[in-house]
Amino acid sequence: MNAITVIAGNISVLRRSDVDTDQIIPKQFLKRVERTGFGQYLFYDWAKEPGWDLDPNPILVTGRNFGCGSSREHAPWALEDFGFKAIVSPSFADIFYSNCTKIGLLPVILPEEEVEALMGETSARVDLEEQVVSFGGREVRFETDPEIRRRLLAGLDDVGITMQRGEEITAYERERERSGPVTTAL
């Protein structure tokens, strides 16, 4: 995963709330076993609507509860592959938010009125180190969980980090793992 510090550039606006992952990447594209190449299918059905206009800018600004529905990581993969590096919204669905942070696509939560103001701009600058979004001559703070922020700033591989804690996990298994039948005994 690439390290994130500053994401700056033009913004794309998707003025809709409760955008579900079925819209972001429809089911027929989940059959692929690869991890790349999903950007071309982003918002596959909506992109056919007249008046649809969404450029692959670094920053996507959108409505509440973005990424609700299915846990498909294909949704963040598609958004990232399309060109977005940060997504700004008043709120995100839990699993989607978590999935974004795992692949280095930065979810930024701002108050609704700030998102509304940002939608009227053409560009912005998101600084993860300072946790500030700058646009139209203003600076708006945002919060990120300190541990998630640390990992994003350093571009760390979660699996690699946890594997270094193998002894702790082994100790847990030795002392506290629940007893009883396991799947291989079926």
Partner 1 sequence: MPKTLLDKIWEAHEVAPGLLYIDLHLVHEVTSPQAFDALRLAGRTLRRPDRTLATADHNVPTDGSNRAAQIRDQLSRVQVETLERNCREFGVPLYSIGSERQGIVHVIGPELGVTQPGMTIVCGDSHTATHGALGALAFGIGTSEVEHVLATQTLQQQKPKAMRISYGGELGFGVTAKDLILGTIGRIGVEGGVGYAIEYAGPAIESLSMEGRMTVCNMTIEGGGRAGMIAPDETTFRWLDGRPAAPAPVPREGWTELRTDEGASFDSEVEIDASALSPQVTWGTTPGMVAPVSGAVPEPASEGEERALVYMDLEPGTPIEGIELDRVFIGSCTNSRIGDLRAAARVVEGRRVSERVSAMVVPGSQQVKAQAEAEGLDEVFRRAGFDWRSAGCSMCLGMNPDTLEPGERCASTSNRNFEGRQGRGGRSHLVSPEMAAAAAVAGRFVDIREWEVAA
Q: With contact defined as beta carbons under 8 Å apart, do 62 and 89 qualify?
A: yes
Judged by beta carbon, residue 125 or residue 149, the one nearer partner 1 is 149
- Interaction site with partner 1 (CB under 8 A): 16-18, 20, 22-23, 26-28, 30-35, 45, 64-65, 68-73, 76, 91-95, 98-99, 102-103, 145, 147, 158-160, 162-163, 165-166, 168-169, 172-173, 176-178, 180-186
Judged by beta carbon, residue 137 or residue 181, the one nearer partner 1 is: 181
Cα gap 168→73, rounded to integer Å: 29
Residue 84 or 92 with smaller CB distance to partner 1: 92
Q: Least separation, in Å, of the C-beta of 17 and partner 1?
A: 5
31 or 137, CB closer to partner 1?
Answer: 31
Smallest distance from partner 1 to CB 120, Å = 17
Smallest gap, in angstroms, from Cβ of residue 15 to partner 1? 8
Residue number with CB closer to partner 1 (107 or 135): 107
Within a 13 Å sphere around the CA of 186, how many CA atoms are in the beta-carbon half?
Answer: 3
Q: How many residues does the chain have?
A: 186
Q: Among residues 94, 91, 93, 105, which one has the least CA distance to residue 38?
A: 105
Tell me if residue 104 falls in helix, strand or coil.
coil
The nearest distance, CB 169 to partner 1, in angstroms, is: 6
Instruction: Give the containing element (helix H, strand E) for 101.
Output: helix 94-103
CA distance 4 to 86: 10
Selection from 3, 4, 178, 19 nearest residue 93 by Cα:
19
Q: Minimum distance between the CB of residue 59 and partner 1, rounded to whole angstroms?
A: 22
